[in-house]
Chain A
Amino acid sequence: MNKSHRLRLPVIAAAVTASLVAAGCGSSGSSGSGSGSGATASAPGITSTQILIGSHQPLTGPAAPGYSEIAPASNAYFQYVNAHGGIYGRKIKYTYLDDGYDPSKTTSVVHQLVLQDNVFGIFDGLGTPTHLAVVKYLNASKVPDLFIASGCDCWNNPAAYPYTFGWQLDYVREGKILGSYVKQHFAGKKIGYFYQNDEFGQDGVKGLDMEIPHSQVVSRQTYVPTNVNIGPQVAALKAAGAQVVVNFAIPAWNALFKLTSLKLSFNPTLVASSVGTDPQTLGGLLEAYAKQGGATVNGNQLTQGIITDGYLPTLGDTGNSWIALFKKVHDTYDAKAPFDGNVLYGMAVAYTFVQAMVKAGKNPTRAGVVKAIEGGLPQGVSVAPYGYSMTNHGGVTGAFIGVIKNGATVQQGPVWTTDTTPTGAVMPFSGTQPAAPASGMP
């Protein structure tokens, strides 16, 4: 037979070699050595002038709307810190790469950040399925995995994941706080659940069930975030006669729920997890979906009266020193984005990172920052304290109950704290949230 055949595999061998050489050319081994003012290159990603951190974020793909605002907001706060002297003179460099909410891409970009860019740690990696793909790798490599943007209780596992820390209020606590409110205010009413059929919804329901008597729950309906037809679930809740429906759903499905129940003339009192109730996001989605269906609705009117919870100060509370600080940072460094719940989230978690790095000292190490957080962080931007300790890698431990009025969440009553056990009571928090420091930095 002809020659080209005989050549084929050797050609592949040559091509493989060529590609590997090409791949090798790009690798960099640069890491500055520290000198001056006592700040040294104490760990990978740390030089005398810089702290390099990385993250995986859904900048494109299905989770991008809304969530893609978070990392730029964090970066805006870091720029503010850098402009005001940095952390012990070091400037924070935040490299966040797009994983499109696809776990196999998450693995790829996190390997790139850790092995090629040599980051000090991964900060605020977004998403439960995405981050699950890398959590074992990060811990095996002893890379700090700080303040994951997911309320899965699974991150709080110091024995298996010593380098991993959650941040936001976990869904079990959130379920307990909402459940306790429902138990008190809707005694004797028929209650229905509508939740996302994954760790998020299931953890939330676990918390709800710890508070709400089982006999009161007349229907439990789930959805998967790939199916927008939730007519059957809403009809089932209506048929069961639910007077109060508790939602553990992301914003888009809260909007679908509201519109579908309107269509079926079903009008229960709606109680919903803070994950899906940023009033601006939810109102916008309601108007957009209704428009697709050929109807015109007023988003603020439809969100009116939804009962929810919050672990950060509300955006409408302009007198709050934290909101004032972040508004200032937003207007200077991130003005193109709307000042909404996602931006507040991004800045708040960035503030917590700076708190941890300041506490880790002048020459931080990877193990050092873990130890610093385990020693506990002072309460800052969240309305309830952090739970960090040697045995607790969770995060915020409580929230207030809020009601949406005229497109803004309004706090009702005190801040509640609790734990994740069935017996732990939901208690009013006796302390007060400290004001934001005048410098805007921890």
Chain B
Amino acid sequence: MTLLRHLAAAIVAGAVIWAASVQLSPFRDFQMAQIAVYVVAIAGLSFLIGLSGQISLGHGAFMAVGAYTTALLMMHLNWPWWAVFLASPAVAAVGGAVVGLAAARLHGPYLAGATLMLAVALPSLAVQFPGVFGGDQGLSVNVFPPAGLGANFPPTRWLAWICALAALVTLVILANLARSRVGRNWRAIRDDPVAAALAGLPVGRLRVLAFIVSAACAGLAGAMLAVTTSLVSPGSFTLSLSIALLAGAVLGGLGTLTGALWGALVIVLVPTYVTDVATSHGFSGGVAANIPIAAYGVVLIVVMLIFPQGIQGGLRRLAKQFLPTPPTHLGSPGRRPPASEAEDPDSPYRRPPVSEHQEEGTS
């Protein structure tokens, strides 16, 4: 039932995106594709952190794996876009499994450090083996709209379509995964790994699985990035990309799909919008160039001050404050009134009732 509901919602969203893409200018279509890239990457990372309680500063590296897989498959084997959109996450998932095996044994800052190393080291492999990966120049990737759409069809609209499709499919899969038994198990190991282990959950295996799912999302996002950028090169996968993804996940609200969308919107739209404003107000070059970075920082600080749980968490809190509680909740028997954040199964702050009294000790 859940699957059907999520599918129906995705189809509605897909129809809305299709209608919007036809109306919008080619540049907005391009931004839509970019937003889709970041939605997928951030959703994957947000799930890893918010649901399984592991952190990763190395998701840029998994995106690189997906992007290089895409470039190599398209260049040497002429695979179509949909095939590389399936293959790239698979390859990244293998990478995620390897890293996950190590990650499952690490905690907190050690895990952050290990994944950080990944973000720094992996992209420079491309420079070490220029024969295969094209070195600093990278490899070019080109996806054109099918001829059936006509010669004047804007290529960026096609990019928006395929990226939005990939993003919606990913969101449906993640939404179902979060609601599944696996999702509940992840939340259990996040909240209290010892209690979860005592209850018979394979903590290590679950952590590795979370890493695999998350890396697959990053791999798909990498493939989408390759297709939108039309070039794969190490310069696109710097440490700042990994940090931006993490910032996007935190900004949007950890562990929520809608939060991933907010995060992606901030990452893609804020710099463009601010650049427009900065240049149209005639700031000098040096100042105008740094304004988007400053604005991004300001947004990050403001959101964290006002909404410590990210934009999505803040919106939920506002909605609960100003909207009357839906009667259906009160009507369900045997349930506590959903008065707090604790009711949201996706919130990383939720604690199962049994462990509520020792909340401080488990975080």
Contact = CB atoms under 8 A, between A and B. Distances in A.
Contacts of B156: 111, 115
Contact of B285 (A23, A96, A109, A115): A96
Interface in A166-204: 197-199
B136 A101 contact: no
Interface string B261-298: 11001000100110110010000111011101100000
Contacts of A9: 5-6, 9-10, 13, 171-172, 175, 257
Interface in A122-143: 128-130, 132-134, 136-137, 140
Contact of B262 (A15, A27, A134): A15
B12 A115 contact: no
Contacts of B338: 2-4
A16 to B, nearest CB: 6
Interface in B1-32: 5-6, 9-10, 12-13, 16-17, 20, 23-28, 30-32
Interface string B90-132: 0000000000000000000000000000000000100110100
B20 A3 contact: no
A263 interface: no
A133 B226 CA distance: 10
A334 B136 CA distance: 33
| Most chain B beta-carbon neighbours within 10 Å: one of A9, A107, A132, A136 | A9
B257 A224 contact: no
A104 B25 CA distance: 20
B7 to A, nearest CB: 9
Contact of A24 (B20, B171, B276): B20
A134 B293 CA distance: 23
Interface string A1-18: 111111011111101110
A115 B25 contact: yes
Nearest to B268: A108
Interface in B117-152: 124, 127-128, 130, 135-138, 140, 142
B334 interface: no
Contacts of A20: 16-17, 20, 24, 28, 32
Contacts of B257: 8-9, 12
Contacts of A134: 230
26 contacts: A4-B316, A4-B338, A8-B346, A9-B13, A9-B175, A10-B12, A12-B261, A13-B13, A15-B258, A16-B261, A19-B261, A20-B16, A23-B28, A24-B24, A24-B25, A60-B293, A68-B289, A71-B285, A72-B284, A103-B138, A107-B228, A108-B30, A133-B229, A136-B142, A198-B136, A224-B128
Interface of B: 5-6, 9-10, 12-13, 16-17, 20, 23-28, 30-32, 34-35, 124, 127-128, 130, 135-138, 140, 142, 155-156, 171-172, 175, 179, 225, 228-231, 233, 235-236, 238, 256-258, 261-262, 265, 269, 272-273, 275-276, 279, 284-286, 288-290, 292-293, 316, 326, 328-329, 335, 338, 343-346
> Which 5 A-B pairs rank lowest in CB-CB distance, beginning with the nearest?
A9-B9, A59-B289, A115-B27, A13-B13, A133-B231
